[in-house]
Structure formats: C-alpha cells, structure tokens
Structure 1
Amino acid sequence: MKTNHISIIALFLCLLISCKETKQKPNSKILDSSVTSSITKGTSLLDKCINAHGGIQKWRSFTGISYNLEEDGETVYQLTNIKDRRAYLKSNDYEVGFDGKVAWAKPDASKIPGKSAAFYYNLDFYFLGVPFLLKDAGVVATDEGTSVINGKNYETLKITFGSEIGLSPEDVYYLYLNPETFRLEILTYSVSYFKKENAQINSAKTYSEYKEVQGIMMPTKLENFEWKDGKLGKSTKHIRLFSDIQFLNKIPDQSIFKAPEGSVTESIN
C-alpha cells in the first residue's frame, strides 16, 4: 500500500494490465489530480465521483477519522489523521501505528495482515477513503468510458501513480461507478507490495450499505470477490464492516501516534 495515497490501501495492491472488461474511449482524458482544481468542478469523472460522496472540500475540512472495523468476529479501532496520515490501530491482540516516519506494531506484527505494520497501518483507511484520497498529489485518473460487468453498465476510472509515490507505485486501480449516482460500487486492484513481478488484477471489492456521516457518504460494508475476465465472481467471504464512523475536527491526544516502548518499527521510505 502507499503512504500519502491510498495505498487502499488500503486495503486500501508491476501490473500487467489487460482489462478486457473496459472499453476505452478514443478521446479519454488523463487527469493528474494535482491539477484538477483548475478545471471547472464536476467536469472530470473523478470530480463527479467525489462530489457524489460529499465533495473534497467537506472531506478536507476534517482533521481525522475514526471507526471500528469488524472482520471475522474481531474488532479493530482505527484512527487516522487525514491531514498527515499518522495512524493508530488497536485490537485485543495488537496495536499498530504510524508516527509520520516509521510504522510500528506492539508487541509485533505477527498477527496483523501481511505481518507488516508498514503494509497494514493505512490499508483499511485507504480503501475507505476512496475516492477522496485520489486527490493526493501524483495520482493520475483516466476516464476509461463505459464498462459492462455482470450485465450492468458502469462508468470507469483507471487510477495510476507517479513513480515516486508511495511504497508500491506500480499499483493500478479500476473504479466502477454507478452511471446515475456516480457513487463507487466496485473497485478492482492488485497487491504489488510484496510480489511486484507477479502482481495482476484478480480481486475486487464491492462498496455497499452507504451511510451519510457528517455530510460524507461512507460505505459501511466492503466485500471481496473473485475477479476474472472482467466479471465479478464468487465472494471470497472476506467482509469488512465499519461502524461508529466519526469525522474529527481535532485529535486531542497527538501522542497516540508515537511508537510506544517495546514496539517493533519499520521505516517508511
């Protein structure tokens, strides 16, 4: 995943892309999100998607976000500073965080996904923060036109990253938006963090059970599905449920992000 962009991730991911499901328009526009602010609001597909979820100004008006994540019967509390991406996560078995320079885990990373604090600390935040985090510098959004998935039409966004962005800039995401509401419904992706040479898009997440939280539309259920030849396959039974989502104007205890004594740290380059 990535520091300072979804690295969703994230889930919240050297791709060999051959997306048969996508029909690219000859004149599709490539928009670097760092310059989209100079474009009339709502003209790009990414802007339409972000506006459908509450708007980038609303998202950026908050300092932090907290929520409880439930997966396989385990609950993890997660807190992220939206401004600088420092993070703190806590379950019954571990604590994980990012202090702005190093990721850390206590007592260690053996029980967390990927067994890496650097991989995990912003994984769920990144996936939950899409599409807003796609406005990070270095993110490139391409309007890929209309795709048909399992008989339903979607507006399609391809997301790539600058070579110096994050820990796995090879990642490529595809966002499939409801053509009427422009709300995100399906996200396909790869995980190139561990094995870049083998990375390919073979997984998909569905976004559902949206709830308005302080003016922002947030999905409360993310479910993983098999993905092959442009089709959504069977559920992998990997379901993440989000509750008690809160946007924060202030994070009172900034020390919570610091690596505690006895934790194992990983540098973020």
Structure 2
Amino acid sequence: MALENRRSLTAAQIAGIYAVVSGLWVVLTDRILEAIFPTIAAMAVAQTAKGLVFILASTAIIYTLVARSRRELEETNRRLDLALRHSSVLHRVLRHNLRNTCNVIQGTAETLHDRTEDVDESLDIIEDEAERLVSIGDKSRSLESVIGTGPHARTEVDLAGIVEEYAEIYRKRYPDVRIETDVPGTARLEAHPKVELAVDELLENAIVHHGSDEPTVRLAVERSADGHVAFEVVDDGVGIPAAEREALETAIEDQLVHASGVGLWLAQILVLESGGTFEVGSAGAGGTTVRAVF
C-alpha cells in the first residue's frame, strides 16, 4: 500500500532550527547595534527593542514550524485512516468473491461428472465465473496501488482526451451501445496518474450493468468559471441499487463485495486521490448519473 513518503520535521530538527536562527540573531544584531549606537543609554534602548523584536520573530518561527508539523501529522493520520478502512473492505472483497466463485466452479464441475452430453452450459458458467474472479483480482490490485498515494503522486492529465479515447474503445468493443460525448477540445488538470481507470470503470459499469441490449451512455466534461473540471457519466439503465450507493459513502457495507461495487469503489478512490469529489445519483426514468468534480 503506497502511503505518501514525505519528510516531516522532528522535534530535534525544530529545536535545531530555532537554536541556529536565535544564535545568528543575537550575534549579528549585537554587532550592528554596537556600530550604530555609541552611547550606553542609546544601546540600552536598542537592546530592549531588539529583545521585543526577537520575541515576536521567535514566536512566529515556532508557530510556523509547529503548524507545519501539525498539518503534516493530520494529513498522515487522514491518509492512514483511509488506507486502513479501504484495506479492510479489500480483504472482505477477496474473501467473499473467492469463496462464492470457487463454490460455483466446484459445484458446476461436480455436475459435469454426472453428464455425458450437453455440457456447454456448465462450461460457460465455469468460464464466466473464472473471468469474473480474474477481473475482481485485477481491480483489487489496482485499488492496492492507488489507496493512500496522496497529493505528491498527482500529475497533469487531459481529461477530455482520456474520455474521448475510452469512448472510442468502448464503441468498438460494444457496437450496439450508443455512446455520446460532450467534451471540450482539452481539459487539463492535476490528478492521480491512473485516473483514466476511473473513466474506464464508470463507462464499463454503465454498459455491463445497464439491463438492456441497446443502452445509451452519455459522457460529458466541462470546466466551470472557478476552474474546476467536472466529469459526468449518465445512462438510461436500471440504476444502481440504493444500498450500493450508500456503501460507496461508508466503504464498509457488504454491498461493496460485488463486482460492480468494486469497480465503482475503484473509480471513487481514484477521484478522491485526485483531490476531487464523487457523487452517484439517479438520472431520468431509472438511469444513473455519476459525477466527479476535480
């Protein structure tokens, strides 16, 4: 699991910085005051003023150093908490799907032993379940590499170009699906380097779990006046169950163990690790709208 490897200031480093700055201040200002104020009375006033300035300056330095360390600690704790929560669900995903899929494969294989013909259906079940398990394993590995990466991992991407690229891929893969796009010429932003997987997962989920033979999926990218970039996937399918939508918000519900939940979860984590927000809602007569804002 990749947690951000940033170097935080230790207590000894903070004390060392303070000691160096304080020592330089005392030595250098004493020399300057001796050259500027020749009389003892003037020197005394200047020393008092120097002391007050030193107190204010040292207070500002200590505040800056402590505030920085506290921010780093809070960010580390936030990412650690996120990583622990998602690791827990990741293990449950694997345990649940390994058990269920292996049970299906085992039961189907046993059925084949009792048959002398018409085994195609059973073989199809074994093949489908095996492919499903492989897909979940791939998504789980992607999740493991994404969770907790932090802001330092972000890079500049063109979301408009990514959306157009995957729209074309899925048009070729699913010729009966109507995929509409509404994107600008370019939409550059700072995001996780694997953010394209979010586009892939959301588009696949909208098609595979649509519920009809000829689905329509609309992809849109827009930049708002305040500089944010929004990505939206809208389909006219059966919709995502309310329990699964709730599971995305908590990341601890059992509904996340299903294959569709894993894909949505991966998309959500990629958006969050890119500094964005992720929302799933209803669209029209039973469809689904997924909106990510970066």
Question: TM tier, shorter chain?
Answer: under 0.3
**TM-score (structure 1 length as normaliser):** 0.27
Higher relative CO (Cα under 8 Å, sequence separation at least 6) belongs to 1
Higher Rg: 2
TM-score by length of 2: 0.26
Greater percentage in strand: 1
